[in-house]
Amino acid sequence: MPFDVRLPTVLRQHAGGQAAVQANGETLGEAVEDLVRQFPGLAGQVVTDEGTLHKFVNVYVNDDDARYLDKLDTKLTEGDVISILPAVAGGQG
């Protein structure tokens, strides 16, 4: 089943400039694999060479951070929306 995947501006260049694309899978991991298959330039941006979520990217299923769910094993259900956001760090101490 296809899921909407929302991409931040910084990643859109790897997806033909699209703000949202679709990916298929029963789990978040399968959807990410399908996303990377469609748009190979996203591979190093979203997942590491080891196949885990990149630590500088936050991935949400609906409004829930995948790190606090089952990470890439998170089950997807009809109507879920995946959002990929760059992590924000830094600031003044």
**C-alpha span between 25 and 12 (Å, rounded):** 21
- What the block records as the tokens of 29 is 């991991």
**C-alpha span between 65 and 16 (Å, rounded):** 26
Contact in structure between 27 and 75 (CB atoms under 8 Å): yes
Inform me whether the pLDDT recorded for 91 exceeds 70. Answer: no
pLDDT band at 58 (very low <50, low <70, confident <90, very high): very high
Q: Give the amino acid at 20.
A: A
Domains and CATH numbers, the chain: 2-86 (3.10.20.30)
> What pLDDT is recorded for position 55?
86
Inform me whether the pLDDT recorded for 93 exceeds 70. Answer: no
pTM (two decimals): 0.90
- Sequence-ordered list of residues with C-beta below 8 angstroms from that of 62, at least 6 positions apart, any chain: 80, 81
